Amino acid sequence: MFAIIRTGGKQYRVQEGDHINVELLDVEEGAEFTFDDVLLVGNDADTTVGSPTVAGASVSARVEKQTRGPKVTFFEFKNKTRQSRKKGHRQHETRVVITGISAK
């Protein structure tokens, strides 16, 4: 069984046992929580597409750790004035493991 969930403005295709990095969630490490914004639920036999979400469907997950993503650097240069600036950024992320998918 698989599902497509929406969190942090992005969509993820998940199955039970998957480890995914999502945008920062305000949940402690080791805590259980559910994603209620399920867009699609499917298995080998049939698929249920929501409009916009599947009623009664939820995906349960457990937080493994709060971490930061890889560093993204960018460099700006202004021609003729020889101005330059180098900046970097690391996005905060939450690593979760999917523990179950329920579709009613």
For the chain, the domains span 2-102
The Cα–Cα gap between 99 and 18 comes to 8
Predicted pLDDT of residue 50: 85
Mean pLDDT by 10 residues, the chain (104 residues): 94 95 95 94 88 92 96 96 96 96 86
Predicted pLDDT of residue 46: 87
DSSP annotation of 69? -
Collapse the DSSP code of 21 into the 3-class scheme (helix H, G, I; strand E, B; otherwise coil) and give the result: strand
Burial 43-73 (b: 16+ CB within 10 A, else e): eeeeeeeeeeebeebbbebebeeeeeeeeee
Predicted pLDDT of residue 95: 97
Q: Quick one: residue 36, left, alpha or beta (phi over 0 = left, psi -120 to 50 = alpha)?
A: alpha
What does pTM read for this prediction?
A: 0.82
